[in-house]
Amino acid sequence: MTENASGTATSQRDDSRPVEVLVGRIGRAHGVRGDVTIDVRTDEPERRFADGMTFDTPVGKLELQESRWHGQRLLATFVGVRDRNAAEALRGTELHVVIPVDERPDDPEEFYDHQLIGLSAVTDAGELVGEVGEVLHLPAQDLLVVRRNGAEVLIPFVTEIVPTVDIDAGRLVVVPPSGLLDEG
């Protein structure tokens, strides 16, 4: 999984500006005291949902008062959200954090979307496939949307198909299964 970068992507990178990334979405209210469930969109929830974190949202800044795991579900309480009605009003709100553009996840096998967008995709034989234009986060797996010959091809972002991501070189390697790159 990766964190979602927001905004319009271009192939030119400006390494001096911070980047806003989507780390979660508020789900339904939980109980009557203002708790909500969080649809986590980061591989680093312990880092992104630490007590006191502040999130940029379409409804303004939200400060995390407390978070805790309830089974497989992350529950959160935000400062000033004291009852079920206030919690339910936040349902669907996206939670963003601002990070330095050059920040990388702790795990070397994980990437933020903004790091992948704009990379050249080449096959293991060296043939140019295209440029990564978007990362889709679907329930089954993440997909890279690669622009190829005026069209888009969806490439599953799994190690077997994308074994190498070299951010510094500006490219990733694709080992396409039969038919993946066929133009139809």
Per the domain annotation, does 6 fall within a domain?
no
pLDDT at 16: 63
Give yes or no: residues 130 and 93 share one domain. Answer: no
Q: What residues make up the domain containing 161?
A: 113-174
pLDDT at 15: 56
Q: Which of 42, 74, 100 is the last residue of a domain?
A: 100
120: domain CATH number? 2.30.30.240
What number of CA atoms fall less than 13 Å from residue 52's CA on the CB side?
0
pLDDT at 2: 47
User: Residue 57 in 3-state DSSP?
Assistant: strand
Give yes or no: residues 54 and 93 share one domain. Answer: yes
The mean of the pLDDT values for the chain is 87
Per the domain annotation, does 155 fall within a domain?
yes
Q: Using the structure block, give the residue that is written with the tokens 């066929």.
A: 182
Give yes or no: residues 47 and 71 share one domain. Answer: yes
pLDDT at 11: 38
pLDDT digits (tens, 9 = 90+) for 33-82: 999 999 998 878 998 999 999 999 988 999 999 999 999 899 999 999 99
Residue 12 predicted with pLDDT over 50: no
Residue 14 predicted with pLDDT over 70: no
Per the domain annotation, does 180 fall within a domain?
no
Q: Where are the alpha helices (DSSP H) in 18-162?
A: 45-48, 84-89, 113-116
Q: Give the percent of the chain with pLDDT over 70.
A: 90
Per the domain annotation, does 7 fall within a domain?
no
49: domain CATH number? 2.40.30.60
> Domain count of the chain?
2
122 vs 130: CA distance, rounded Å: 7
Give yes or no: residues 31 and 92 share one domain. Answer: yes
The predicted model scores a pTM of 0.68
pLDDT digits (tens, 9 = 90+) for 133-167: 999 888 788 999 999 988 999 999 999 999 999 99
